[in-house]
Amino acid sequence: MNAREEIPSIETGSGDSRVTPMMEQYLEIKTANPDCLLFYRMGDFYELFFEDAEQASRALGIMLTKRGKHQGQDIPMCGVPVERADDYLQRLISKGFRVAVCEQIEDPAEAKKRGGKSVVKRDVVRLVTPGTLTEDALLDPRRANRLIALARVMAGEDTIVFGLAALDISTGTFTVSETTRAGLAAAIARLDPAEIVVPEALLSEPDLAALLKETGRPLAPVGRDISDAASAERRLSEAFGVSTIAGFGALSRAEVCAGATGVSYIVRTQRGAHPPLAAPQRAGQSDFLDIDAATRANLELTRTMSGERVGSLLDAIDRTVTAAGGRLLSERLASPLTDPDAINRRLDSVETFTADAALRRDICMALRRAPDLARAVQRLAFNRGGPRDLAGVRDALIAARAIAERLGQSERGAEIASASTALAAPDPALAAQFSEALAEELPVRASDGGFVRPGFDAALDEQRQLRDESRRVIAQLQQRYAEETGHKTLRIKHTNFLGFFVEVPAAAGEELRVAPWNATFVHRQTLQGAMRFSTVELGDLESRIAAAADRALALEMAVFTRLSDLVASAGAVLQSVAQALAVLDVASAFAQLAAEQTYMRPEVDLSLAFDIKGGRHPVVEQALVSEPFIANHCDLSPASEPEAGRIYLITGPNMGGKSTFLRQNALIAILAQAGSFVPAASARLGVVDRLFSRVGAADDLARGRSTFMVEMVETAAILNQASRRSLVILDEIGRGTSTFDGLSIAWAAIEHLHEKNSCRSLFATHFHELTQLSKRLGRLHNATLKVAEHKGDVVFLHEVVPGTADRSYGIQVAKLAGLPPAVVDRAGAILAELESRDRARPKQAIADDLPLFSIAPRPAPVAAPPDPALLALDAIDPDELTPRAAQEALYRLKALRKS
């Protein structure tokens, strides 16, 4: 029945409200899913009622209607076509909604057998949440769609640890790890989940709830039935059909609890269906470079500060040609390694493809023909796949075989050799079966039919012939009816509601309703300008056609099931192939990037070295079109190996390139540990265990934090957590408050970095007084950005050299920004006056007590400030003045003289 033809409810004349069976069913299902929008299937539409309809109409921009009454009130209603449901689901999920999909689970004909008022049985078959998507239309093909489940357990008398399980049901990946309360935010930021499943007990704690909400990810609270630690091991065993989880390795109690919570949540959202997941793999906390959420945002690794991919590091370096390769690249960039051996295995692969351009080109061409195998396999395993997913498996296997043959058995490095072995593992007969079975043109859904190649199944070909022959008979019958009645416009048509019928214009229809034609043509429906009739002969033909079509579709569905079962039985092998294709895509993409941008292989080891020659910013360099990027050196290596790393104190002008220099060195470290060549002439890097970056300024007004407060919170995290092997990037610490406060904080922070953290650091500042610290802090080295002045203007050379700066050139930058000339001139005069005064006098009492200022030489007494009018006169070049400009200059000089 069409959705718009069924009345939801009725109201009795006495005012006593009665609910129709259909609406009673709807309310019962909605009550069981109160936190979801209910997509209630009615014919060809998913309908929403009451508050769900109001919310959906606003979110989707679709019309809100009213249909029937409930408890004396009109029922708000809106709906979306089933065929376009994925588009609407994607929009709702992106806005943070969860959707319960309620389908008809019986044939309407069966409901009619129970009586005229019987309603078709319906039930929720799936909860659609951000972390449980599998459909291509709902997913970003180049981004993983992880769901994270949290658990908290006591690991000792006073030790609390958090377990994290990261599951991506679109690809079947499943990893577990554990962390501390302090490292929880960084762990979540690294995994970048689409949804976080968290026990309600944790959300009841304000501090923890605030931390989780700060991530900006949708939260899915769950009760003890899903997060119960006591039954976690049993539930995880049952999910994988094993008697013990010992075969998964030495998982901690926190990891088991988190894993069981994640799996149980997915089973609930899929209404009892167990997801086809890989066995959980343990990821140790020390396996990856630890990058907190603030640093990821500051460095714009995968998204810019505004949330866009364009402009990020990922966007600048991505040369992958497959969706799976794009996801793996994003994952590696988010989770750089800390094991030099593992890093160098990746670098070996990149070097192989860098050295052999022909091999790189051939592999890339073959990869372009490989669809997204991992997600196709998962959809088929979830019974959500279609014929095109089968074709995707076929094409990926063909590409894998070609790549394995191209790589051959020669020595290519451990990573490439392992990938080649995985690509050659599937039985070639598997792809051959798909090729023999599948037609050239394939529908989206298997239920549409027509996807089996003619000649593959003799019984299917026979039923198709009967079906198609019956349709030819229909055409012949239409011609005969037209000739017999004399109405050339007579047509035989078909709809799902009426089946086959004869349609004629209204005038001709009046003739067919009387003798002798009414014995043959039975009136069915009158439309504006047309009438519809049925005949016994047409009804018989319809039954034969329907029977043949049903039999043909049943045979096709049997073929589809058989091929899907083949995919399921080879699931583990196919997922290995998918991973190998992604690994090769990333390695060849890194090689392509290195060839295009002249990146070099870094030397990565366990030392504390950080020596970059000719380093460049990977994003800024590509953005420059009209001018070359100025490369710079950076050596934070210790003078002798047992010592801690150096601290660069960088001074220089605004717009001179300090922030770019800071960021580029952090990004070079990330690229190297992700397994990429780097934008530098050479680089030797001792593995960085934690990367901290405080660059840029932003407020957090929603939480009552000013820009300065945010700066201090991030700085505190750095000073409290940085270790000897960390890399710290700090820019303009203390500039958000008064001069004395800011200078004191920056001074103390540098001392703490030098004496306590002992880490490799880059510290940019406009507090030029801090340069005096190099006289008593042995590992502190001063560096500055070169500038050149010409006729009162400044030229930024963007070159980092040893030394210090004594000016920030802020007024010159203000001039470039377009401040009115009068403001710029006045600022210059004020600056000249301030610089001529004894600035030490008002703060001398404090300065005498500070070791910092006792080190700095006292400024010599200076004469009275020069006349502003004379300064302005000196700045005038008479040879360049027009008569009008000379007159204006005289007026300005008079005004200055009067002031």
The answer to which of 255-269, 502-516, 850-864 has the lowest mean pLDDT is 850-864
User: 657: annotated binding-site residue?
Assistant: yes
Average pLDDT over residues 693-712: 66
- 849 has pLDDT over 50: no
**pLDDT cut 90: percent of the chain above it:** 55
Confidence of residue 410 (pLDDT cuts 50, 70, 90): low
Rounded mean pLDDT of 86-103?
A: 91
Alpha-carbon distances, residue 345 vs 410, 553, 636, 675, 701 (angstroms): 16, 51, 25, 8, 46
**pLDDT at residue 701 above 70?**
no
| CA 526/CA 543 separation, integer angstroms | 24
- Residue 728 above 50 pLDDT? yes
In this prediction, residue 411 has a pLDDT band, given cuts at 50, 70 and 90, of: low
Q: Residue 558: pLDDT above 80? A: yes
* Cα–Cα distance measured from residue 174 to residue 190, given in angstroms and rounded to the nearest whole number: 15
Would the pLDDT of 858 be above 70? no
Residue range 35-68, pLDDT digits in tens:
899 999 988 899 999 999 999 999 999 999 987 7
| 515 pLDDT higher than 90 | no
pLDDT at 315: 96
Write out the two tokens for 413. 């490095």
* 3-state SS class at 553: helix
Reported as a pLDDT band with limits 50, 70 and 90, residue 4 is: very low
Per the annotation, does 658 bind a ligand?
Answer: yes
pLDDT at 530: 92
What is the predicted pLDDT for the residue at 3?
Answer: 39
For helices 373-381 and 387-407, angle between their N-to-C axes, nearest 10 degrees: 140
Q: What is the pLDDT of residues 778-803, one digit of tens each?
A: 899 999 988 887 666 777 788 999 98
Residue 851 is predicted with a pLDDT of 52
Please give the Cα distance from 645 to 648 (Å, whole number).
10
Please report which confidence band the pLDDT of residue 696 belongs to, taking 50, 70 and 90 as the band edges. Answer: low
Provide the 10 A C-beta neighbour count for residue 442.
17
C-alpha span between 672 and 666 (Å, rounded): 10
- Listed in sequence order, the residues at least 6 apart from 418 whose beta carbon sits closer than 8 Å to its beta carbon are 580
pLDDT of residue 20: 80
Whether pLDDT at 332 is above 60: yes
For position 848, what pLDDT does the model report?
Answer: 44
Round the average pLDDT of the chain to a whole number and report it. Answer: 86
454 Rama class: left (phi>0) / alpha (psi -120 to 50) / beta? beta
CA angle at residue 562 from 561 to 566, to 5 degrees? 110
| Separation of alpha carbons 416 and 583, rounded Å | 8
pLDDT for the residue 702: 44
Is 653 a known ligand-binding residue?
yes
Is the pLDDT reported for residue 612 higher than 90?
yes
Q: How far apart are CA 208 and CA 214, in angstroms?
A: 10
The yes-or-no verdict on residue 152 having pLDDT over 90 is yes
- Residue 314 is predicted with a pLDDT of 97
What pLDDT is stored for residue 547 in this prediction?
83
Smallest Cα–Cα separation from 351: which of 586, 591, 589?
A: 591
User: Token pair of 895, please?
Assistant: 């005004």
For residues 109 and 426, the model is more confident at 426
Q: What is the pLDDT of residues 65-75, one digit of tens each?
A: 987 777 778 88
Q: Is the pLDDT of residue 403 over 90?
A: yes
36-40, 105-109, 498-502, 848-852: the lowest-pLDDT one: 848-852
Task: Determine what percent of the chain falls in helix, strand and coil, rounding each to the nearest 5.
Answer: 50, 20, 30
Amino acid at 847: A
Three-state secondary structure call for residue 305: coil
> For residue 824, what are its two tokens?
């710029």
Q: Is 615 annotated as a binding residue?
A: no
- pLDDT of 159 reads 83
Alpha-helical regions (H) of 46-193: 50-60, 85-94, 108-113, 184-191
42-51, 264-273, 678-687 — most confident range: 678-687
pLDDT at 860 over 70: no
pLDDT digits (tens, 9 = 90+) for 182-209: 889 999 999 999 999 999 999 999 999 9
| Number of residues in the chain | 899
**Look-up of token digits 């089996």:** 452
Q: pLDDT at position 253, please?
A: 92
Please tell me the predicted confidence (pLDDT) of residue 394.
96
Answer whether residue 377 shows pLDDT above 80.
Answer: yes
Enumerate long-range contacts of 889-896, CB under 8 Å, 24 or more apart: 892/825, 893/869, 896/829, 896/868, 896/869, 896/872
- If you write DSSP's letter for every residue of 24-74 in order, what string do you get? HHHHHHHHH-TTSEEEEEETTEEEEEHHHHHHHHHHHT---EEEEEETTEE
Q: What is the pLDDT of residues 105-138, one digit of tens each?
A: 887 777 777 776 778 899 999 899 999 998 888 8
298 is in an annotated binding site: no
Q: What is the band of 859 on the pLDDT scale with cuts at 50, 70, 90?
A: very low
Annotated binding residue 659: yes
pLDDT at 31 over 70: yes
Residue 439 has pLDDT above 80, yes or no: yes
Instruction: Please check the confidence at residue 380 and state whether its pLDDT lies above 90.
Output: yes
Q: What is this structure's pTM?
A: 0.82
Residue 446 binned pLDDT confidence (cut-offs 50, 70, 90): very high
The sheet with strand 219-222 has its strands ordered as 219-222, 195-199, 147-154, 160-168, 173-179, 281-282
Give residue 472's region: left, alpha or beta (phi > 0; psi -120 to 50): alpha
Residue 427 or residue 825, greater confidence: 427
Q: Which pLDDT value is given to residue 897?
A: 65
655 annotated as belonging to a binding site for a ligand: yes
Rounded to 5 degrees, φ, ψ at 132 are -125, 30
E-strand spans in 281-323?
Answer: 281-282, 290-291
652 is in an annotated binding site: yes
